[in-house]
Structure 1
Amino acid sequence: MTGSPDHKQEDGGDRNTVIRLQSYLHGGTSSLLSALPTLFVFPVYKTIFRQQIHNTSVHHTVGQLYKEGPVKLYRGVVPPLLMRTLNGTLLFGLQDTLLRHLSLSTHNATSAAALPALAGFGAGMVEAVVFTPFERVQNVLQNGQNDRHLPSLRSVLMRLKVQRISQGYYRAFLPIAVRNTLGSSLYFGLKGPVCVLVAGRGLSPMGSSFVSGTLTSMAISLTLYPLSVLVANMQAQVGGEAKGVMTCWSALWKSRNHSVALLYRGGTLVILRSCITWGITTAIYDRQQQQSS
């Protein structure tokens, strides 16, 4: 027997809800799977971080980490693993939700092409609000200078808790917000067109997604790398004099002898990390989306 229009409308609403929830699930799953290699590449990530805050060469940084030993090498690995999984769930799911809402309110072909980037911008802002505390804790833990007076995750959390919010958990929120909104906007705006372009070269759909995610994230990482260096330097310490973003940037630029090359120390390693994580994430996410559509 044919259902009433109200029942049909309810069924359609349920299906739409399931479709919207799938993007959150797929984002979390793809990020979780791509986060597993983080255990292997975390030493690379930590090397980048040390270069960012100490302005040292790769050789010197690796030697420093080697002397600290394998136990301290993986100090701070929990926040990025947790953050990576939750980040993918929120970023992909929220971007898809915003995109669906924006698509209903526009009928212009030109503006419709920019909607993925616009939705990515909104998702990036929410991402910054949610995950700045994670990044703050991670950067404090990875700074070897904090090992003695902040020896554990609990000690870091307790110390940040008593700080003013702008100097505690949300230290460097402004540059993080700029980096995340621009990065997410560029990622979601470019990955589709790049994937189509790569697919035209004869690659499989999953291969095209992997290459698209890799190239897009590589370009974004290198473009926004100075902001990541600024964030790392602002968040690595706890306490001390409260300095604004421009003051911190001036101090950072001066410490790098006004050299772009020194500012980009560790930038080549960002390419490796992007290839592993965002390439895998994009390929798995697109694959899941295609299977469920």
Structure 2
Amino acid sequence: MGEQNHSPGKELQHRTRAEAPGKESWHSQAYALGAVSNFVSTFLTFPIYKVVFRQQIHAMAVSEAVRQLWHEGPQYFYRGIYPPLLSKTLQGTLLFGTYDSLLCFLSPVGPHTLGHRWAAGLMSGMVEAVALSPFERVQNVLQDGRKQARFPSTFSILKEFNSYGLWGRLSLGYYRGFWPVLARNSLGSALYFSFKDPIQDGLAEQGLPHWVPALVSGSVNGTITCLVLYPLIVLVANMQSHIGWQNMPSLWASAQDVWNTRGRKLLLIYRGGSLVILRSSVTWGLTTAIHDFLQRKSHSRKELKTD
């Protein structure tokens, strides 16, 4: 117990990095746990996310967004949850697994500098954006209350996208709003992974229970990252809510439209930010804590087998 108070995160990290490349490491378990933790977190926080989405689209207060969802009825309350459940489950496998693989490639035995963590986070965010952008696109169309009659299900949206030509399926369909998604995900991953370990190690030196630094680090870091990138989140939601060939605004036109409809005020751009803090705190805190727990437990099993 006592020796773990001295930067246990760094110590564990260096030990796992030093394992032989041919041996099975904790990576496979990290994929599985990331998937489960993201699945559970997404299900629990989806109502918060849906309220935030309505604020981003309609620039309304929390009470108005909740009232709107209430009037639509309970049958629509979890409408649109399947794409985020699937995408967040995949995100859990990609986020930690891809980042760790890239970090090992950049610096096989460590120590891992800020530059290494930033580069690995940036590239893992790019992979995540390419893989998951279509899921977010479908999710945002489903969550837009204005499109419930025209697109009552995921299948109806996919049918619409598949009716386009090949380029239309990508640019107007599945990858609508891809460039702000790419910027948001890559920068978000880079910021999160660059500062997650320093925060966690600093808290661990205070002698706190091992799960507390991971929970606090993930919660604080994920929240700050989301708030820094919140304007991109709003832009993505608005761009991906459009559908069809007619009147499809460009990236610049969409950004101008969001700025103008928010009265050219940064405060209105950040409407819904309070709920983002809550959702990000729960999601990233749980994900980081569970991943850290799995990493420790897996390594402890390996030490017992080798003794």
Which residue of the other structure, out of 159, 181, 192, is the alignment partner of 2:186? 181
2:43 aligns with 39
Runs of 5+ consecutive residues of structure 1 not aligned to the other structure = 1-10
Q: What percentage of aligned pairs have identical amino acids?
A: 43
Which residue of the other structure, out of 277, 284, 288, is the alignment partner of 1:278? 284
TM-score (normalised: structure 2) = 0.86
Structure 1 residue 148 and structure 2 residue 152: aligned? no
- The 2-side partners of 1:58 and 1:51 are apart by 7
2:77 aligns with 73
State the SS of the aligned residue for 2:102: helix
State the SS of the aligned residue for 1:36: helix
State the SS of the aligned residue for 2:113: helix
Q: Give the CA deviation at 1:276.
A: 1.1
Q: Give the CA deviation at 1:40.
A: 3.2
Q: Give the CA deviation at 1:37.
A: 3.9
1:61 aligns with 65
Structure 1 residue 255 and structure 2 residue 256: aligned? no
Structure 1 residue 290 and structure 2 residue 291: aligned? no
Corresponding residue pairs, total: 276
Matches within 5 A, 1:56-135: 56-104=60-108, 112-135=113-136
- The 1-side partners of 2:212 and 2:156 are apart by 44
Q: Give the CA deviation at 1:242.
A: 2.7
- The 2-side partners of 1:255 and 1:30 are apart by 38
1:3 aligns with none
Q: Is the 8 A contact 1:32 1:84 kept in 2?
A: no
State the SS of the aligned residue for 1:166: helix
1:225 aligns with 230
Q: Is the 8 A contact 1:28 1:85 kept in 2?
A: no
Q: Give the CA deviation at 1:200.
A: 2.8
- The 1-side partners of 2:235 and 2:154 are apart by 23
Structure 1 residue 245 and structure 2 residue 251: aligned? yes
TM-score (normalised: structure 1) = 0.90
Q: Give the CA deviation at 1:120.
A: 0.9
- The 2-side partners of 1:14 and 1:198 are apart by 33
Amino acid at match of 1:229: V
Q: Give the CA deviation at 1:145.
A: 0.7
Q: 1:13 to 1:144 in 2, by over 3 A?
A: same
- Segment of structure 1 superposing worse, 79-88 or 170-179: 79-88
Q: 1:27 to 1:282 in 2, by over 3 A?
A: farther
Q: Give the CA deviation at 1:42.
A: 1.4
Q: Is the 8 A contact 2:37 2:92 kept in 1?
A: no
Q: 1:227 to 1:101 in 2, by over 3 A?
A: same
Q: Give the CA deviation at 1:243.
A: 2.1
Q: Is the 8 A contact 1:24 1:92 kept in 2?
A: no
- The 2-side partners of 1:40 and 1:12 are apart by 38
Q: Give the CA deviation at 1:192.
A: 0.1
Runs of 5+ consecutive residues of structure 2 not aligned to the other structure = 1-18, 300-307
Q: Is the 8 A contact 1:146 1:237 kept in 2?
A: no
- The 2-side partners of 1:228 and 1:24 are apart by 30
Q: Any idea what the Cα deviations from partners look like across 1:71-106, whole Å, max 9, x if unmatched?
A: 1111001111111111110111111111111004x9
- The 2-side partners of 1:204 and 1:118 are apart by 30
- The 2-side partners of 1:33 and 1:12 are apart by 28
- The 2-side partners of 1:84 and 1:168 are apart by 20
CA RMSD of aligned residues (A): 1.8
State the SS of the aligned residue for 2:105: helix
Q: Is the 8 A contact 1:28 1:86 kept in 2?
A: no
Q: Is the 8 A contact 1:26 1:89 kept in 2?
A: yes
- The 2-side partners of 1:144 and 1:159 are apart by 17
